[in-house]
Amino acid sequence: MEKTKTQNKELTSEEQKAEINFKTDWQYAASPESTDHIQLKKKYDLFINGKFVAPAKPKYFDSINPSTEEKIAEVAEADEADVNKAVKAARDAYKGKWSKISASERAKYMFRIARIIQEKARELAVIETMDGGKPIRESRDIDIPLAAAHFFYYAGWADKLNYAVPGKTPKPLGVAGQIIPWNFPLLMAAWKIAPALATGNTVVLKPAETTSLTALKLAEIIQEADLPPGVVNIVTGAGKTGSLIVNHPGVDKIAFTGSTDIGKLIQKSLAGTHKKYTLELGGKAANIIFEDASIDQAVEGIVNGIFFNQGHVCCAGSRLFVQESVFEIVMRKLKDRIATLVVGNPLDKNTDIGAINSKAQLDKISEYHSIGLKEGAECYQPACEVPSKGYWFRPTVFWNVSQASRIVQEEIFGPVLTVQTFRTIQEVVEKANNTPYGLSGGIWTDKGSKIFKVSGELKAGVVWANTFNKFDPTSPFGGYKESGIGREGGLHGLMPYLQY
Ligand code: NAI
Ligand code: MG
Q: State the SS3 of 162-225.
A: HHHCCCCCCEECCEEEEECCCCCHHHHHHHHHHHHHHCCCEEEEECCCCCCHHHHHHHHHHHHC
Ligand 1 contact via 259 beta carbon (within 6 Å)? yes
Contact call for residues 184 and 250 (beta carbons, < 8 A): no
Q: Are residues 287 and 416 in the same domain?
A: yes
- Ligand 1 probe mutation, 212, 262, 440, 488, most atoms within 8 A of CB: 262
Whole-model pTM: value is 0.95
Q: Are residues 102 and 73 in the same domain?
A: yes
Write down the pLDDT at residue 8: 42
Using pLDDT thresholds of 50, 70 and 90, give the confidence band for residue 6.
Answer: very low
Contact call for residues 253 and 275 (beta carbons, < 8 A): yes
Q: What mean pLDDT, rounded, does the chain reach?
A: 95
Ligand 1 contact via 263 beta carbon (within 6 Å)? no
Alpha helix locations (H) across 8-102?
13-26, 80-93
Using pLDDT thresholds of 50, 70 and 90, give the confidence band for residue 24.
Answer: low
Q: Are residues 254 and 317 in the same domain?
A: no
Give, using CA atoms, the residue closest to atom 32 of ligand 1: 413
Flag whether pLDDT at 290 surpasses 80. Answer: yes
17 located within any domain: no
Ligand 1 atom nearest residue 282's Cα: 41
Q: Are residues 274 and 419 in the same domain?
A: no
Q: Are residues 367 and 233 in the same domain?
A: no
Write down the pLDDT at residue 345: 97
Ligand 1 contact via 413 beta carbon (within 6 Å)? yes
Q: Are residues 253 and 375 in the same domain?
A: no
Beta bridge partners of 61: 75
365 located within any domain: yes
Minimum-distance ligand to the CA of 63? 2
34 located within any domain: no
Q: Are residues 297 and 389 in the same domain?
A: yes
20 located within any domain: no
Question: Domain containing 317 — which CATH number?
Answer: 3.40.309.10
- 128, 138, 280, 411: which is the annotated catalytic residue? 280
Ligand 1 atom nearest residue 179's Cα: 9
Write down the pLDDT at residue 20: 66
In single-letter form, the type of residue at position 63 comes to: S
333 located within any domain: yes
Write down the pLDDT at residue 28: 80
**Active site annotation includes 314:** yes
Give, using CA atoms, the residue closest to atom 25 of ligand 1: 259
Question: Domain containing 229 — which CATH number?
Answer: 3.40.605.10
Tens of pLDDT, residues 372-417: 999 999 999 998 889 999 999 999 999 999 999 999 999 999 999 9
Flag whether pLDDT at 140 surpasses 50. Answer: yes
Write down the pLDDT at residue 21: 66
31 located within any domain: no
Closest CA to 286 of 418, 413, 375: 418
Flag whether pLDDT at 16 surpasses 90. Answer: no
Q: Are residues 383 and 438 in the same domain?
A: yes
Using pLDDT thresholds of 50, 70 and 90, give the confidence band for residue 11.
Answer: low
Give, using CA atoms, the residue closest to atom 38 of ligand 1: 258
Write down the pLDDT at residue 75: 98
Q: Are residues 314 and 248 in the same domain?
A: no
Give, using CA atoms, the residue closest to atom 10 of ligand 1: 239
Closest CA to 50 of 245, 241, 227, 250: 227
Residue with the bigger pLDDT between 21 and 200: it is 200
193 located within any domain: yes
156 located within any domain: yes
- 314, 315, 379, 384: which is the annotated catalytic residue? 314
**Active site annotation includes 280:** yes
Say which range, 24-33, 234-243, 353-362, 388-397, has the weakest mean pLDDT: 24-33
Q: Are residues 251 and 287 in the same domain?
A: no
Give residue 107's domain range. Answer: 43-281+483-499
Ligand 1 contact via 282 beta carbon (within 6 Å)? yes
Which uninterrupted H or E stretch holds 111? helix 103-119
Mean pLDDT of 130-135: 98
Closest CA to 71 of 82, 79, 60, 56: 60
Closest CA to 48 of 222, 194, 209, 208: 222
Total structural domains in the chain?
2
Q: Are residues 228 and 350 in the same domain?
A: no
Using pLDDT thresholds of 50, 70 and 90, give the confidence band for residue 27.
Answer: confident
Write down the pLDDT at residue 14: 76
Ligand 1 contact via 265 beta carbon (within 6 Å)? yes
Closest CA to 188 of 258, 115, 263: 258
Q: Are residues 249 and 332 in the same domain?
A: no
Using pLDDT thresholds of 50, 70 and 90, give the confidence band for residue 3.
Answer: very low
Gap from CA of 472 to ligand 1 centroid (Å): 23
Flag whether pLDDT at 44 surpasses 50. Answer: yes
Ligand 1 contact via 243 beta carbon (within 6 Å)? yes
Write down the pLDDT at residue 18: 72
